[in-house]
Structure 1
Amino acid sequence: MSLLEIRNLSVEFATASGAFRAVDGVDVTVDQGDLMAIVGESGSGKSVSMLALMGLLPWTATITADVMTFDGRNLQKISPRARRQIVGRDISMIFQEPMSSLNPCFTVGFQIKESLRLHTDLTRRQRHDRAVELMTLVGIPAPEKRLSAFPHQLSGGMSQRAMIAMALACRPKLLIADEPTTALDVTIQAQILELLIELQETTGMALILITHDMGVVAETVQRVSVQYAGQRVEEQPVTDLFENPHHPYTAALLAALPERATERHLPTIPGVVPGQFDRPQGCLFSPRCRFADARCRAEVPVRANAGMGFALCHYPLDKGVPQPRKDTA
């Protein structure tokens, strides 16, 4: 049985001009000890998908799913109290902006110990010792001293490490890292990613890495789910994805990597991710796809099989060449 299983997840936000669907029919499956990435441009619904799982979206969001289970428990049917016992203990999340996610009014030590107080039976002294252990684990020097520091007294890298310590406090079964290296310099980025992978290997937890950095994906994960405009458009093992992407959007993302550039100027994807008022009738990627035809612009594509990376495309690619579907051959 999978640790996490989500089927046909959709998230709509109520706005003054109508409902906007930020996530549209996304599937996510994570096994024990799994290491996967969710990639895509900003506005692809990556973070919203996971915030829906965590129950952290505002009241304007309407969340629907055919299945949403974690460790055999139906997250849609359990009480809010029971859900709070899971979130923060068995499922933890490292948020994108540590300086805005940490509470500026409380010390880092207080915020780490608060999670332990809510989810464990440890005594005050044991919580303090565990907080020191966590700060040491994530590589923060002088941990006893840093526990009494406020977030503004820490650098960006230290704040991110403190966030990781807080997320790991209760030894979660699943850790969601939402662009954990945003706004950090390259050296710190490498340290944070190395730390996450090391902790994943030593603790056996599952890790979902949300990012738009394909270079990071290539070096860290085992499986990749590609999202575009709120939809999962492809999912493959990382090696297969880089060698033979099946969705034109995935192929375009990989072609834009500097190390793959064959000309003086980097290839780009024209246009932008569609928003509330400019969503195409057929394939959502069709206005930006160089392979799109009239069918792509008029008909919603049917998902391909696992051999073609579950590509949501009328003509999934094979070695860069569009393949006619059987229903159109």
Structure 2
Amino acid sequence: MALLEIENLSVAFATSGGTFRAVDKLSLSVQSNDILAIVGESGSGKSVAMMAVMGLLPWTAKVTADKLNFNGIDLLNLNARMRKKVIGKDIAMIFQEPMSSLNPCFTVGFQLAEALRVHLGMNRAERRKRSIELLELVGIPAPEKRLSAFPHQLSGGMSQRVMIAMAISCNPKLLIADEPTTALDVTIQAQILDLLVSLQSETDMGLVLITHDMGVVAETADRVVVQYAGQKAEEQPVKKLFAEPHHPYTSALLAALPERATSQILPSIPGVVPGQFDRPKGCLFSPRCAYATDLCRTVEPKRAEAALGHALCHYPLVDGEPTKNQKVS
């Protein structure tokens, strides 16, 4: 049994202009000791899908799924009391902006100790000892002094490390890291990623890494889910995805990497991710796809087999060319 099982997850928001589906029939699974990366442009619904797992979406969001299970627990029908026992303890999340995720009114020590008190029932001495251990584990120097520091007294890298310490404080079975290296310089990014991977291997927890950086994916993940406009475009093991992408969107993302550029001008994907009012009738990627045909523009594609990366495409790419040799019409 998978640690996290998601089948046909959809998240819709009620707006003044109607209903907007931010996540559209997303299916994925995460095993223990597994690193799954979810990649895609901003607006692809990556964070929203994981916020649905955490139960942190606002009341305006309508969450539906055929299955949304964690370690055998049905997260869709979890009552508030049980959710408090699971979220934060067995499932933890590192949020995208550490400077805004930490409470500016409380010290680092207080915020670390709160989770230990609520979930593990530790007394004051035990909480202090464990907090120092956690700060040492994430590489913060002089941890005893940092316990009395407020978030504004920490750098971005330090704040991110504190967030990681809080997330792993109760030894979660599943850790969701939402853009954990955003706004950090390259050196600190590498340190944070190395820290997450080492913690994951030491504790056998499942790790979901949300990112738009394909370089991060190549160095850390075991499997990749490529998300576009709320839908899963493709899913493959990392090496296979980089060797042969099957969805035109994945291929375009990889082609835009500087190390793959064959000229001085980097390739780009024209257009933007469709929003509420500009979603095309057929394939959502068709307005931006170099291989789109009239069929793509009018009929929703079906998901391909596993050998083709479960690509949501009428003509999955094989050896860089669309199947059936279809051309632009």
Q: Same fold judged by TM-score > 0.5?
A: yes
Q: How does 1:200-279 map to 2 (within 5 A)?
A: 200-279=200-279
Is structure 2 residue 4 aligned with structure 1 residue 7? no
SS at match of 2:225: strand
Letter in 1 for 2:126: Q
Which whole-Å CA distance do the structure 2 matches of 1:27 and 1:53 have between them?
A: 12
Task: Tell me the CA shift for residue 37 of structure 1.
Answer: 0.1
1:31 paired residue number? 31
2:102 paired residue number? 102
Question: What TM-score does the superposition give when structure 2 sets the normalisation length?
Answer: 0.98
Task: Tell me the CA shift for residue 323 of structure 1.
Answer: 1.0
Question: What TM-score does the superposition give when structure 1 sets the normalisation length?
Answer: 0.98
Which whole-Å CA distance do the structure 1 matches of 2:27 and 2:117 have between them?
A: 34
Which whole-Å CA distance do the structure 2 matches of 1:26 and 1:245 have between them?
A: 19
Q: Deviations over 1:132-154 (max 9, x none)?
A: 00000000000010011000000
Letter in 1 for 2:155: S
SS at match of 1:215: helix
Task: Tell me the CA shift for residue 80 of structure 1.
Answer: 1.3
Aligned residues of 1:37 and 1:208 also touching (Cα < 8 A) = yes
Percent of matched pairs sharing the same residue: 69
Q: How does 1:114-129 map to 2 (within 5 A)?
A: 114-129=114-129
2:58 paired residue number? 58
SS at match of 1:128: helix
Q: Deviations over 1:241-290 (max 9, x none)?
A: 00000000000000000000001100000000000000000000000000
Q: How does 1:1-329 map to 2 (within 5 A)?
A: 1-324=1-324
Task: Tell me the CA shift for residue 10 of structure 1.
Answer: 0.4
Which whole-Å CA distance do the structure 1 matches of 2:44 and 2:311 have between them?
A: 16
SS at match of 2:262: coil
Letter in 2 for 1:300: E
Which whole-Å CA distance do the structure 1 matches of 2:6 and 2:118 have between them?
A: 27
Task: Tell me the CA shift for residue 16 of structure 1.
Answer: 1.1
Task: Tell me the CA shift for residue 319 of structure 1.
Answer: 1.3
Which whole-Å CA distance do the structure 2 matches of 1:225 and 1:286 have between them?
A: 19
Which whole-Å CA distance do the structure 2 matches of 1:200 and 1:82 have between them?
A: 25
- Specify every segment of 5 or more residues in structure 2 that has no aligned partner in the other structure, as ranges: none
Letter in 2 for 1:23: V
Moved >6 Å (runs of 4+): none
SS at match of 2:182: coil
Letter in 2 for 1:43: G
Which whole-Å CA distance do the structure 2 matches of 1:112 and 1:319 have between them?
A: 50
Which whole-Å CA distance do the structure 2 matches of 1:154 and 1:40 have between them?
A: 30
Letter in 1 for 2:292: A
Which whole-Å CA distance do the structure 1 matches of 2:125 and 2:96 have between them?
A: 31
**Mean Cα displacement is larger for which, 119-128 or 282-291?**
119-128
Aligned residues of 1:40 and 1:46 also touching (Cα < 8 A) = yes
Which whole-Å CA distance do the structure 1 matches of 2:302 and 2:97 have between them?
A: 36
Letter in 1 for 2:103: N
Task: Tell me the CA shift for residue 122 of structure 1.
Answer: 1.6
SS at match of 1:116: helix
Which whole-Å CA distance do the structure 2 matches of 1:76 and 1:180 have between them?
A: 26
Which whole-Å CA distance do the structure 1 matches of 2:146 and 2:124 have between them?
A: 18
Task: Tell me the CA shift for residue 305 of structure 1.
Answer: 0.6
SS at match of 1:224: strand
- Number of aligned residues: 325
SS at match of 1:207: strand
Which whole-Å CA distance do the structure 2 matches of 1:269 and 1:197 have between them?
A: 31
Which whole-Å CA distance do the structure 1 matches of 2:281 and 2:144 have between them?
A: 58
Q: Deviations over 1:216-242 (max 9, x none)?
A: 100111100000000001000000000
Which whole-Å CA distance do the structure 1 matches of 2:219 and 2:105 have between them?
A: 37
Aligned residues of 1:33 and 1:205 also touching (Cα < 8 A) = yes
Aligned residues of 1:235 and 1:311 also touching (Cα < 8 A) = yes
SS at match of 2:68: strand
Which whole-Å CA distance do the structure 1 matches of 2:324 and 2:121 have between them?
A: 59
SS at match of 2:324: coil
Kindly report the root-mean-square deviation, in angstroms, between the aligned alpha carbons of the 2 structures. 0.8
Aligned residues of 1:235 and 1:309 also touching (Cα < 8 A) = yes
Aligned residues of 1:314 and 1:324 also touching (Cα < 8 A) = no
Task: Tell me the CA shift for residue 324 of structure 1.
Answer: 3.2
- Specify every segment of 5 or more residues in structure 1 that has no aligned partner in the other structure, as ranges: none
Letter in 2 for 1:174: L
**Mean Cα displacement is larger for which, 153-162 or 123-132?**
123-132
**Mean Cα displacement is larger for which, 87-96 or 69-78?**
69-78
Task: Tell me the CA shift for residue 318 of structure 1.
Answer: 0.9
